[in-house]
Each structure stands twice: as C-alpha cells, then as structure tokens.
Structure 1
Amino acid sequence: MTPADTADHCLGLPGAAEEYPFGERTAVFKVAGKIFAVLADDAPPARVSLKLPPDEVEALKAEYPGTVLPGYHLNKRHWVTVRYDGVLPDEEILALVEQSYDTVVATLPKKARPARRD
C-alpha cells in the first residue's frame, strides 16, 4: 500500500475533503471541517496520523511498537501515527482510516454529519 492509496480511500469517504495547510507534502483530510487523517510523505517512511478512541490507541501501540507511534504533533491520547514500513497489513491501515473517520463523524452535530455510508 502506498500513501496515494490511503489518500484515495480517505477521499472516497462521504463528505471528505483534502487540504494542504502545512505544505505540499502533508495532506490533511477533513469531514465537516474536522481532521480525521494527516498523511505525510516528507520523510521515509511515509506516515499517516489518525484519531482513535484512547483504548484503541494504547492497544495498537502495544501490538505494533515502532510502527504505530504516539500522534506526531497531536494529542497523544487520541491520535496515533502509523508508519508505512510494511508491518501493519494494508487492510488494517484502511480499517483504521475508516475508524478515525467514524470517530470524528460521531462527534459532529447531527446536521453536520454527511449522509450515511452503505
């Protein structure tokens, strides 16, 4: 899996938008103005930061040390940074992206939530 695959997946989620507030090498994905993923390929290996429930954050860091790290420049309780080092299976990365998206959508007021996914 490449960062481009992850970006395509992010943009396939309802209401997702891509911005580059930190420069051309760091894509920020938002839903209703709230960040659910930060994809950086400015240093090898590329990495994606995702917002997850705190218990999931701790479990992932314990299961994949060195690959799943505390969120880079983000709240360490709610965010993890996943390195594209080949350790975490592709399906797991995509599932984490969707979990991050769902975590953020759940915090939005009902009027701001995008149409439900099938």
Structure 2
Amino acid sequence: MNIEELRTYCLSKRGVTEGFPFGPDTLVFKVGEKVFLLTGLDAQPLSFNVKCDPERAIELREQYPSSVLPGYHMNKKHWNTVQANGELSFKQLTELIDHSYELVYNSLPQRIKETLS
C-alpha cells in the first residue's frame, strides 16, 4: 500500500474528510470531525496510526511485532501505528483501517451520522 492507495481507500468511506490540522507533513482523515487515521507524508515505508479495540491491539502487536506497534504520539491503549512494510497484506491493512473507521463512526451521535453523506 502506498500513500495514494491509502488516501483513495479512506476517502471512499462514508462522510470522510481529509486535512492537515497538525501541519503540512501529517495527513489526517476524520469522520464526523473525529480522527480515525493519521499518516506522515514522508514515512518510508508508509506507516499510519489507526484506532483499535484495546484487546485486539495487544493481539495484533504480539502477532505482528514488526508491523503493528503502540500508537506513536497517541494513546497507546487505543491506537496502533501500522507499518506497511510487506508483512501485512493489502487486505489486512484495509481491515485495520475499516476497524478504526467503524470504532469512530459507531461512537458518533445519531444526529451526526444522519448528516454524513
């Protein structure tokens, strides 16, 4: 997965916006004004932070210690940093993105969900 594939995938999800609230080097994807993915534009290989269920986060870190790490500059209980270094397949990477999106989307109030296009 490269940055363009990541961007295209994230923007294909319902109600997603992108921006640079932390400066020009960090691309942030939100749903309902809540962050579900952050990535540095200069990271090689691509890496990104995604939200994760705490128990699943621990399992993933144990199963993929070189690809799934505690969230860099994030709450390490709820966020993982994922390295797209070839260990995880494209499908596995998109599943982690989906999980993060769903956690954030499901936490939104119903009135916000109804406004998302």
For 1:114 and 1:89, the matched residues in 2 are separated by 33
Distance of 2:112 and 2:88 partners within structure 1: 32
The aligned amino acid for 1:108 is L
- Using the TM superposition, give the Cα deviation of residue 24 of structure 1 relative to its aligned residue in structure 2, in angstroms: 2.5
For 1:98-113, list aligned pairs within 5 A: 98-113=98-113
Q: Which secondary structure state, in structure 2, belongs to the residue aligned with residue 6 of structure 1?
A: helix
Q: Please state if 1:40 is matched with 2:40.
A: yes
TM-score, normalised with respect to structure 2: 0.92
Q: How far has the Cα of 1:40 moved from its partner?
A: 1.5
Q: Indicate the SS of the match to 1:7.
A: helix
Alignment of 1:85-100 (within 5 A): 85-100=85-100
Check whether the contact 1:38–1:49 (CA below 8 A) recurs between aligned residues.
yes
Runs of 4+ in 1 over 3 A off after TM superposition: none
Q: What number of residue pairs does the alignment pair up?
A: 116
1:72 aligns to what?
72
1:48-67 CA distance string (max 9 Å, x none): 10001101110110110021
Q: Secondary structure at the match of 1:113?
A: helix
Distance (whole Å) between structure 2 residues aligned to residue 87 and residue 99 of structure 1: 19
Unaligned runs of 5+ in 2: none
Following superposition, the deviation at residue 114 of structure 1 comes to 5.2
The yes-or-no answer on 1:28 pairing with 2:28 is yes
1:7 counterpart residue number: 7
Show structure 1 runs of 5+ residues with no match: none
The answer to whether the 8 Å contact 1:15/1:114 transfers is: no
Residue pair 1:32, 1:113 contacting (<8 A) in 2 also: yes
Give 1:56's aligned residue: 56
**Contact 2:84 / 2:93 at 8 angstroms: preserved in 1?**
no
